Every structure is written in C-alpha cells, then in structure tokens.
C-alpha cells in the first residue's frame, strides 16, 4: 500500500514539473517545440547569412518564400497544343515569348542602365570571418585563445601529446589540489525526467577531445569555398546568341496576379497531359542553353526531369541524355516522360533520342562529347528547406552533407566542363540564394578545370537578354546581383525562384 502511495506521489511531482516547464512561457509549449525543427533551423540560418548578404532586401524575399510559389505552364507540343493555348489564354495567361518581345522593344527605346556592383564578396567575407571566429571560440576557451589561429590549425593533438600533458599535470599537482581545482561539466549530467534511455546515454557519454573531434566539420568550411582569387584565365563577355525557341510555348500570369493559379493538367486526346507546371526560373535555365537544331544535350542532374522535358518541347535536340545518381529519381524521370511524350515506352524514336542513365555526375564519362550540358546541381533548395521538414538538408544527420555541398557542386560543374565540346556551352543552375553555392562554385570550378585539365571557359553575361523578363519576374540588381550569373529573387508580386543561372562557353 505504501509503495502505491509513493508511486502516486512521484507521478504527481513529475506532472507538476512538466506543467512548470510548459507554462514557464506565454507561448504554448507545443509551438516552442516546433521551433527546433529543421525548417526553423534553416530560417534562422538564412536570417543570419542572407540578412548579412542582402541586407534590407532579405525580409521581403523571406516573406515571399514562406508563401505559395508561382508557376508557369509549358504547353505540351505532343498533346492538343492549340486547344491548350486557347484554354490558358481564356484564363488570362500570357505568352512568355510575347511578353519578352514587348519588353525588348521598350528597352530598345529606353536602354536599362547597368547597376551591378561587386559588393557581395565583401559581405560574404565578413560573414565567413564571423563564422570562423565562432568555430574557433567553440573549441578554445576565450581565456586561452591563441594569439593567431587559422582554421586549418584547428587539429586534434595526438595521443602521445595528450599523455605528455597528463604526466606534467600529475607532477605539478597533488590529488587534493587537482580535486580542489577541478570543475564539474554540468552539460553531461542527465536530467532524471528524460529517463535512462539508450539515446540519452549515447548523447551524454563523455568523449575525449581526440574521439569527439575526429568527425567534426567546422561551419565555416561551407563559406570558405567562396573565393575571388583570379589566378587563372577569366573572361566575362555579353551573350549575343540568345533567342527564344520558336516551338517552345510558355504561359504565365502577369505580375501581381499571385492567386491566378493554373489548374491541374488534364489528359489530351493523345492520352498525354496538356501542359507542365514549373517555376519560371527553371525555364530560364533551359533558355540559357541557347539550343540549336541537332544538339546533343546532357542533363547531368536531371531528376525529376522537368528541364529535360522543356528542352524536348523546343523540338531542337537530336539526343538528350538524362542522368541522375539515384535509381528512384531516374524512375521519376521515366514517369514524367510517359505522362508527356506519346508512346514513350514503346516508340523506337524515343529510345534513340532520349537516354536515361543512373551514374554519379562527378564520374560521368562519354566518348562523343556534348554540344550543351545542363548542371542543375543538388543544393540547399531554399524554398523547400524553409517550409518542409521532410528531406531537409538542415536535419542534424545531414550537417556534413550541407557543409560539403559546394565542394560536390564544384566537382559536378568541373566534370560538365570536361564533357562539353570546345565551342559548346554549360549552364549551371541552383534553386538557392547562396553566393557560395552560386558564384562561389562557378569560380572554384573554372579555376579547378584550368589547373587540373587545362580547360578555359568564358562566362557569358545574360543581363541583356534576361532584361526583357522585367515585366514577368524579379532579377537581382545592384549590390545584391551576382557577378557571373542571373539570380531570380522571390517577391510577393512575382513569386518565382529563387533560381541562379549562369552560362559558360568552353573555348579551350
């Protein structure tokens, strides 16, 4: 009987403790708990990083990215194209090609003044220095910080050195003196309310400095990939070959009409879907390829296949190779092609024109070479990361993957420069606002391609042709504009992106 009473008392005390924790803040405890999920970690990270890079322009971008994104409709030429165009026009959508032509004529009368200023580098360098300082502070006590310490110096002492230090410590202090001066590490004490679970014990097992740091990756590593050292041939030239493909039909709503959303695509008489909805920034990546009749095209990171489908809708490539490192993702490419291309599984013509491969893009090889290569790399996918916890790159188990992402992106772009023929073009694109993953990766890949393979590529400035999109979407300009590419920035009036696009032409 007494044991039952004691159990009831313990349960009551535990309940009171939980209630105190829950009601300690005015905000509901469940909401506080949610704030620690990956999407909120991403938002806090972007507030700090993008806030330092974009300044006062970041808050409206963030507001737009937390809202429903906007799409364009790419008409399927293998369906009832004319009926689809009439349907979209009746709903108030406009032809993107026509909108760009009108804006282009306007710019001929009133040329836009270039406002690009390369101030982004200073902002990124300042932020990198701050993160590096935080990394060092997290390892070395502030009262014992070395006078001068570089990130590369943050290595772990060998076991022999540690033993030597231990010997010296034993000689210099008695046991009583050591106990008197010892400090208890309160962070390793397990809260009884947590329960003695295997997970809790695992998290709080004391680790030596050597064992605890062997897998450690500094946060500043991610930003160290952003460099502006120009010790290799680098040229930026205006793009003069750009033209909107005649057979590509893209429809969009005008700026400000955010709530005019396209309905779900429907089946045509040919049993394929009538149009493909996608972000306008993704369409720009295909336009930047400047496709020509008979091109042999490689989509190096193709899944889910939307950009490859848009390339096929131009009716220009002879062959397009769609590659992705994941079998499940290449299966998605096949499903999309079956939904939009007539008899995709049974037609011999499709088998000759469209090839799907499952290989690591960094090791992809080809004997024939390609006229155009699209490298839409895996990135932090900013909009998804800020809104969804599923498959979020800010999950604790994906920290190393996120921090080493620019390195992987650079390897993909470097290999693309190897695969493209001399005179051919590589388009690099991301769905991120990060200058590290955008200009930083382009710069790093151009440098590595030259130093390792002797490859020289020219950066093609797309500012002039993309200026005709001013009435459709928002492109970064002035102090927030990237140096090598174009950046589609989300706004409430034109909620596309974020998307980064740059065009490189191999000259050697």
Q: Would you name the residues annotated as active-site residues?
A: 431
Buried b (16+ CB within 10 A) or exposed e, 60-85: ebbebbeeebbbbbbbbbbbbbeebb
How far out from the chain centre does Cα 40 lie?
Answer: 17
Distant-in-sequence contacts of 443-447, Cβ < 8 A, 24+ apart: 443/226, 443/227, 443/228, 443/484, 444/225, 444/227, 444/406, 444/410, 445/410, 445/413, 445/414, 445/417, 446/232, 446/234, 446/417, 446/504, 447/227, 447/229, 447/231, 447/232
Residue among 19, 454, 2, 28 at smallest CA distance from 233: 454
CB contact set of 373 (below 8 Å; sequence gap of 6+): 297, 298, 300, 416, 419, 420, 424, 425, 426, 427
Cα–Cα distance for residue pair 433/400, rounded to 1 Å: 20
Write the DSSP assignment of 228-279 as a string of letters: ----S---EEE-------TT--EEEPPTT-TT-------B-TTSSBSEEEE-
Cβ–Cβ under 8 Å, residues 465 and 457 = no
The three state secondary structure string of 185-200 is: CHHHCCCHHHCCCHHH
Cα–Cα distance for residue pair 431/378, rounded to 1 Å: 9
- Would the CA dihedral through 409, 410, 412, 417 be positive or negative? positive
Angle between helices 327-340 and 306-313 (to 10 degrees): 30
The label of the residue with tokens 């002797």 reads 454
Cβ–Cβ under 8 Å, residues 500 and 476 = no
């Amino acid at each position: 009987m007494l044991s039952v009473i004691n159990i009831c008392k313990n349960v009551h005390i535990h309940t009171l403790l939980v209630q105190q924790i829950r009601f300690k803040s005015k905000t509901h405890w469940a909401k506080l708990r949610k704030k620690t999920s990956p999407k909120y970690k991403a938002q806090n990270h972007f507030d700090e990083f993008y806030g330092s890079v974009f300044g006062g322009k970041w808050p409206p971008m963030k507001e737009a990215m937390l809202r429903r994104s906007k799409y364009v409709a790419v008409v399927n030429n293998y369906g009832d194209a004319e009926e689809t165009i009439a349907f979209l026009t009746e709903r108030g959508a406009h032809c993107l090609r026509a909108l760009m032509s009108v804006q282009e004529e306007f710019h001929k009368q009133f040329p836009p003044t270039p406002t690009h200023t390369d101030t982004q580098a200073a902002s990124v360098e300042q932020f990198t220095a701050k993160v590096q300082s935080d990394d060092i502070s997290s390892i070395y006590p502030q009262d014992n910080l070395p006078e001068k310490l570089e990130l590369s110096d943050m290595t772990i002492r060998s076991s022999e050195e540690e033993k030597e230090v231990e010997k010296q410590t034993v000689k210099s202090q008695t046991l009583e003196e050591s106990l008197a001066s010892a400090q208890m590490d309160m962070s390793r004490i397990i809260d009884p309310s947590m329960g003695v679970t295997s997970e809790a014990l695992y998290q709080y097992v004391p680790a030596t400095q050597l064992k605890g740091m062997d897998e450690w990756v500094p946060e500043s590593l991610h930003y160290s990939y952003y460099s502006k050292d120009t010790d290799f041939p680098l040229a930026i030239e205006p793009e003069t070959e750009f033209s909107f493909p005649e057979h590509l039909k893209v429809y969009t709503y005008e700026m400000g009409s955010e709530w005019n959303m396209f309905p779900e695509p429907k089946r045509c008489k040919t049993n394929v879907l009538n149009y493909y909805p996608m972000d306008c920034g993704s369409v720009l990546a295909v336009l930047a390829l400047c496709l020509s009749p008979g091109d042999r095209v490689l989509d190096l990171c193709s899944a889910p296949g939307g950009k490859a489908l848009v390339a096929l809708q131009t009716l220009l490539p002879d062959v397009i190779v769609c590659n992705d490192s994941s079998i499940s993702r290449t299966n998605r490419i096949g499903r999309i092609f079956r939904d939009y291309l007539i008899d995709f599984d049974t037609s011999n013509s499709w088998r000759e024109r469209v090839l799907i491969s499952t290989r690591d893009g960094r090791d992809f090889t080809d004997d024939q070479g390609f006229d155009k290569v699209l490298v839409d790399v895996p990135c932090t996918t900013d909009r998804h990361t800020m809104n969804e916890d599923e498959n979020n790159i800010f999950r604790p188990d994906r920290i190393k993957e996120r921090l080493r992402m620019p390195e992987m992106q650079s390897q993909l772009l470097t290999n693309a420069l190897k695969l493209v023929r001399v005179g051919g073009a590589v388009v690099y694109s991301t769905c991120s606002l990060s200058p590290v993953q955008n200009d930083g990766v382009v710069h790093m890949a151009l440098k590595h391609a030259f130093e390792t393979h002797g490859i020289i590529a020219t950066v093609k400035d797309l500012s002039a042709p993309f200026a005709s999109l001013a009435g459709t979407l928002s492109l970064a300009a002035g102090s927030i504009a990237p140096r090598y590419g174009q950046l589609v920035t989300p706004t409430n009036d034109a909620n596309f992106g974020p998307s980064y696009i740059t065009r490189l032409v191999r000259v050697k």
